């Protein structure tokens, strides 16, 4: 995805060798044309997989997730990190530890929206250690549904997320793979 690679290279800001700030187009301000292209690309990569739902996690996963769901003509579900006032019915719950933030969140999805027979595409904005994607996959499996794959906008390939997810048998497709942020420089795989 040339459009996305250009954005990362031109607008990405390296913080402390491990974190890439991309809040001009992905994590704060969002670029709808880019999001639409991202959705189309995930839909192309996972075409023919009979996907029935896209699953992401709030908040930055929602924009690429909804555009992917639109391109696949299915619904998007986003897992919540905060307790919802109205989410009072039965829920799937998983604990997700963030090494980056050093905190554990309980993520929740209503049992109404996932069922055995669903083929679920997990989409997220970043892949670092893979904890969020694993938590989402465990929720899909709690529901008796199937993980069709994991679509990531920006993968930090120098962190273990891809390795652990592929080792667990999941197909991971990342649109941009960052090999290194050392010395303040963005290098792609």
Pick 20 or 139: Cβ nearer ligand G4P: 20
Cα 66 to Cα 55: distance, rounded to the nearest angstrom:
9
Is 69 annotated among the ligand-binding residues? no
Pick 43 or 128: Cβ nearer ligand G4P: 128
Q: Which residues bind ligand G4P (CB under 6 A)?
A: 19-22, 27, 59-61, 98-101, 125-132, 156, 161
List all residues 6 or more positions away from 64 whose beta carbon is below 8 Å from its beta carbon.
Answer: 35, 38, 39, 42, 56, 123, 124, 125, 151, 153
Q: How far is the CB of 7 from ligand G4P (least distance, A)?
A: 13
Is 183 annotated among the ligand-binding residues? no
Structure tokens given for 78: 């986003």
* Backbone region of residue 5 per phi and psi (left: phi > 0; alpha: psi in -120 to 50; beta: other values): alpha
Cα 64 to Cα 52: distance, rounded to the nearest angstrom:
17
Q: How far is the CB of 112 from ligand G4P (least distance, A)?
A: 23
Is 128 annotated among the ligand-binding residues? yes
Q: How far is the CB of 22 from ligand G4P (least distance, A)?
A: 5
Is 156 annotated among the ligand-binding residues? yes
Q: How far is the CB of 47 from ligand G4P (least distance, A)?
A: 25
Is 117 annotated among the ligand-binding residues? no
46 CA to centre of own chain: 14
Point out the annotated binding site for 5-phospho-alpha-D-ribose 1-diphosphate.
128-132
């Amino acid at each position: 995805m040339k459009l996305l690679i250009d954005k990362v290279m031109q607008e990405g800001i390296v913080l402390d060798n491990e974190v890439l700030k991309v809040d001009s187009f992905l994590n704060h301000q969002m670029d709808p044309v880019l999001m639409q292209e991202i959705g189309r690309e995930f839909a192309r990569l996972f075409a023919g997989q009979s996907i029935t739902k896209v699953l992401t996690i709030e908040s930055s996963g929602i924009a690429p997730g909804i555009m992917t769901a639109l391109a696949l003509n299915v619904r998007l579900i986003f897992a919540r990190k905060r307790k919802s006032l109205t989410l009072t019915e039965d829920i799937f719950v998983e604990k997700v530890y963030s090494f980056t933030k050093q905190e554990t969140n309980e993520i929740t999805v209503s049992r109404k929206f996932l069922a055995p027979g669903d083929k679920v595409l997990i989409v997220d904005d970043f892949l670092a250690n893979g904890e969020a994607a694993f938590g989402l996959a465990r929720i899909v499996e709690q529901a008796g549904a199937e993980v069709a794959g994991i679509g990531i906008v920006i993968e930090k390939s120098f962190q273990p997320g891809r390795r652990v997810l592929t080792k667990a048998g999941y197909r991971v497709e990342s649109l941009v793979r960052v090999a290194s942020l050392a010395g303040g420089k963005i290098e792609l795989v």
